[in-house]
Amino acid sequence: MTSAFERKKDPEGVRRALLDSTARLAAAHGLAAVTLSAVAGSAGVTKGGLFHHFPNKQALIHAMFQELLDHFDQAISAAMVDDPVEHGRFTRAYVRAVFHDQALGKDNPSAGMSMTILADPELQTHWSKWLAERIQIHEATDSNAMCEVVRLAADGVWLASFSTEPRTPFHTDRALSQMIALTYPPGAN
């Protein structure tokens, strides 16, 4: 058995394990299940090791949220690169990222982000600012009413992914294609 003194230090690996455990616990059991003891145990880390990286539960949850938001942002950016039509490009990428995440359901680490947004007003504000900044950046192409309606519908799809009512791939695929179609300028598709 290797003692703590013989083990190679891996602070980034420990931080990664803590964040992954937090996201899994939040997605599977809700935010109430995210206790410092549960996260530390799930990550295979002592509570002291957890406190080395995060001073409290709120800091841990906020770090998880920021990481998942960064991942979501990267997925949107990647989808935008492949889209040749400027009008509605951000909204189409947003919808695709949401549908990709909801297709993974509760096994998706982003599910933890959804749960934390619902439970934490500070994170709701952070999310709103993030989205407002993105919409401002893409104001020339995505500030119209239809794009806003489509983004709001995508948010509803995301929240519905936590429902116990099963969704068929047909309904999901059809909704995705119809929402995407609404983002193109009239006569473009």
Task: Let me know: does 69 contact 133? Beta carbons within 8 Å.
Answer: no
pLDDT > 80? residue 6 = no
What's the average model confidence in pLDDT over 112-120?
A: 70
**159 or 155: which leads in pLDDT:** 155
pLDDT of residue 17: 92
Q: Is residue 138 a part of any domain in this protein?
A: yes
Among 31-35, 41-45, 74-78, 123-127, whose mean pLDDT is lowest?
31-35
Torsion of CA 40, 116, 151, 101, to 10 degrees: 30
Task: Measure the CA dihedral 81/84/89/92, to 10°.
Answer: -90
Percentage of residues of the chain with pLDDT beyond 70: 80
> Residue 155: phi, psi to the nearest 5?
-60, -40
Asked whether residue 16 is domain-assigned, the answer is no
Q: Is 187 inside any structural domain?
A: no
Query: Taking 80 as the threshold, does the pLDDT of residue 36 lie above it?
Result: yes
Q: Which domain holds residue 130?
A: 56-181
The model's pTM:
0.79
Q: Is residue 17 part of a domain?
A: no
Token pair of 40 as six digits? 């530390």
Q: For residue 141, what is the domain's CATH number?
A: 1.10.357
Q: Please indicate, yes or no, if residue 26 is contained in any of the structural domains.
A: no
Tell me what pLDDT residue 169 has. 57
pLDDT computed for residue 101 by the predictor? 64
pLDDT above 90: percentage of residues in the chain: 46
169-184 per-position pLDDT tens digit: 556 788 889 999 999 9
pLDDT at 1 over 50: no
The total of structural domains in the chain comes to 1
pLDDT band at residue 3, thresholds of 50, 70 and 90? very low
Predicted pLDDT at 120 = 81
Assigned domain for 79 exists? yes
Please report whether residue 65 resides in a domain: yes
pLDDT at 110 over 70: no
Confirm whether 68 is domain-assigned.
Answer: yes
